[in-house]
Structure 1
């Protein structure tokens, strides 16, 4: 049985840990509120922009000729892996890294064997994980979440788009956590380039309609496709940002509860140890008194 001093030390340590996890939960909750508002406001815009592009592209031959639509044999692959900069968020980072590795092993094993799979890491945890595994990692944007803004994500998107049109990559995918609620994040892997045609119901209905374009058809398509791609990446980053704070809030809440349970157990141990020590002292006093009598 541990001594009273050891138990007191453990109780003190766990109380300090519980205070820290409570504070981290409150910070995550405050950040989550802002991040959740951002992604909820972004989703309708991103969805409508994609629908508009699908509708216009259904009646425009130029969309198929866009450099971002060019399908080539997949020799070189880029994975945009979005993780967080810090841990203490449960399985948030682990799940994204596992999904990315699963994609590589199942779909791009041959390309990976030749060293033709590269990683663009948004977030430090993903960069560290893939560097340890020997992948070529672009770490230019690992600090994106330090001051998250559309301008920073747009720069990353433009770099990837330019690399694709230059033939450096034949396929680009995004792997990230989609925010559902505080307790649930859904792992997503979306093809970024070449653009995947996903015609909506409205696009199918209007596929045979002759459009009048103002300004020109070429100008509209040329402007909309890059903008849609930038918004797609920004939306994925916002989804991941909200998911991170939700995951951290949940993890810290569970850690606080676990610390409370452990405190209850340790207090029982402390009381039992204290009672045993008192009983032992009483027995020693009684034994000494009996010895004096004899």
Structure 2
């Protein structure tokens, strides 16, 4: 049985840890509120921009050539992995890494065997994890969350688009957590490049999408395609940021509860140990008194 001093030290240690997890939960809750507001404002804009691009493409009489739409035989692959910069957020990062590894095994096993799969890491945890696994990692933008803004994400998107346009990659996929609620995050593995033109649905008649373009439709699509890709990446980063704060809030809440349960157990052990020590002392005193009487 542990001594009273050891049990007392453990109680102090667990109590200090509980205070830290409580504080981290409150900080995560405050950040989550802001992150949730950002993503809720971004979603309608991103969806409408995507609809606009699809509608204009559907109503287009001519095919607009763009290096971002070129479909090539897949030899070299870039996977954009969005994780967090810090841990203590449960299985948030682990799930993204597992989903990415599964994607590589299912779709790009041949390319990975040749070393032609590269990771574009947004978030330090993803960069560290895939570096340990032996992948070539571009970690230029691992600190995006410390200065999260559209300008920073736009720069990353432009680098990815330029690399694809120049033929350095034949396919670009995007893996991230979508925010659903505080306790639930949904892993997404989306094709980022090349852009596949969507065919108009049966509900969209040609007359309904036959617009007069000003300026030309080529100029409009040339502007919409890169902007849509930048917004798509920015939305993924915002989704991941909100998911991270929700996951950290949940993890810290669970840690606080576990610390409370551990404190109850330690206090029970402390009281039992103290009671046993007192009983032992009483017995020693009684034994000594009896010995004196006998003498």
Give the shorter-chain TM-score range: over 0.9
Find runs of 4+ consecutive structure 1 residues off by over 2 angstroms.
Answer: 61-66, 196-201, 206-211
- Secondary structure of 2:115's aligned partner: coil
Deviation of the 1:292 alpha carbon: 0.9
Q: Aligned partners of 1:111, 1:238: CA distance in 2, in Å? A: 30
Equivalent pair of 2:85/2:124 in contact (CA under 8 Å):
yes
* 1:74 lines up with 2:36 in the alignment: no
Q: Aligned partners of 2:25, 2:200: CA distance in 1, in Å? A: 41
* 1:65 lines up with 2:62 in the alignment: no
Q: Deviations over 1:218-257 (max 9, x none)?
A: 1111111111010000000000000000000000000000
- Secondary structure of 2:134's aligned partner: coil
Alignment TM-score, normalising by the size of structure 1: 0.97
Q: Aligned partners of 1:228, 1:52: CA distance in 2, in Å? A: 10
Match for residue 40 of structure 2? 40
Match for residue 263 of structure 2? 263
Deviation of the 1:196 alpha carbon: 3.3
- Equivalent positions of 1:43-192 (< 5 A) are 43-63=43-63, 65-192=65-192
Alignment TM-score, normalising by the size of structure 2: 0.96
Q: Aligned partners of 1:79, 1:286: CA distance in 2, in Å? A: 76
Q: Aligned partners of 1:52, 1:155: CA distance in 2, in Å? A: 23
Q: Aligned partners of 1:67, 1:81: CA distance in 2, in Å? A: 23
Q: Aligned partners of 1:63, 1:101: CA distance in 2, in Å? A: 36
Equivalent pair of 1:58/1:206 in contact (CA under 8 Å):
no
Q: Aligned partners of 1:151, 1:11: CA distance in 2, in Å? A: 48
Q: Aligned partners of 1:151, 1:45: CA distance in 2, in Å? A: 17
* Alignment size in residue pairs: 293
Match for residue 230 of structure 1? 230
Deviation of the 1:204 alpha carbon: 4.8
Equivalent pair of 2:119/2:137 in contact (CA under 8 Å):
yes
Deviation of the 1:60 alpha carbon: 1.4
Deviation of the 1:207 alpha carbon: 3.9
Note the residue ranges of structure 2 that are not aligned, 5 or more in a row: none
Deviation of the 1:206 alpha carbon: 3.3
Q: Aligned partners of 2:161, 2:34: CA distance in 1, in Å? A: 29
Note the residue ranges of structure 1 that are not aligned, 5 or more in a row: none
Match for residue 205 of structure 1? 204
Q: Aligned partners of 2:81, 2:33: CA distance in 1, in Å? A: 24
Q: Aligned partners of 2:222, 2:104: CA distance in 1, in Å? A: 32
Q: Aligned partners of 1:112, 1:85: CA distance in 2, in Å? A: 25
Q: What is the aligned-residue RMSD (CA, Å)?
A: 1.3
Q: Aligned partners of 2:62, 2:141: CA distance in 1, in Å? A: 32
Q: Deviations over 1:72-93 (max 9, x none)?
A: 1111100000000000000000
Q: Aligned partners of 2:139, 2:203: CA distance in 1, in Å? A: 41
